[in-house]
Amino acid sequence: MFDLPDLGIPVSIFLAIYGAYMLFYVFYSLFNIYHLIRYGIYGFGLYLIVTVFTGGTIILISGSVFLLMEYDWTHSVSVDSAAEYYNEDLFPAL
């Protein structure tokens, strides 16, 4: 058929994309928390929502960081080996 050159995509590119997403998420969360505290109705419910949201965010981010620390981010994925797993049934003709 055709031969792909021996190209490799470093896995750290996906880590950089994930980091950019997490940075956007943190800024957006801080924006939301500011507006909840500034314009929300003061009371136990407001502080409960902010505390649960912040605690859940910390748990999810720390869990993903600990899971991602196990991988070798210097490894690269070969484009040639990724093409071996292509199946014609994966994208059938319409």
Residues 6+ positions from 37 with CB-CB distance below 8 Å: 46, 50
Query: Partners of 76 in the beta sheet?
Result: 10
CA 47 to chain centre: 27
Cα–Cα dist 60/90, whole Å: 32
Q: Give the pLDDT score at 89.
A: 60
What tens digit of pLDDT does each residue of 62-87 get? 999 899 888 888 888 777 666 566 65
pLDDT for 17-69, tens place per residue? 999 999 999 999 999 889 888 888 888 888 898 899 999 999 999 999 899 88
Model confidence, pTM: 0.68
**Domain spans of the chain?**
8-84
Residue, of 1 and 65, whose pLDDT is higher: 65
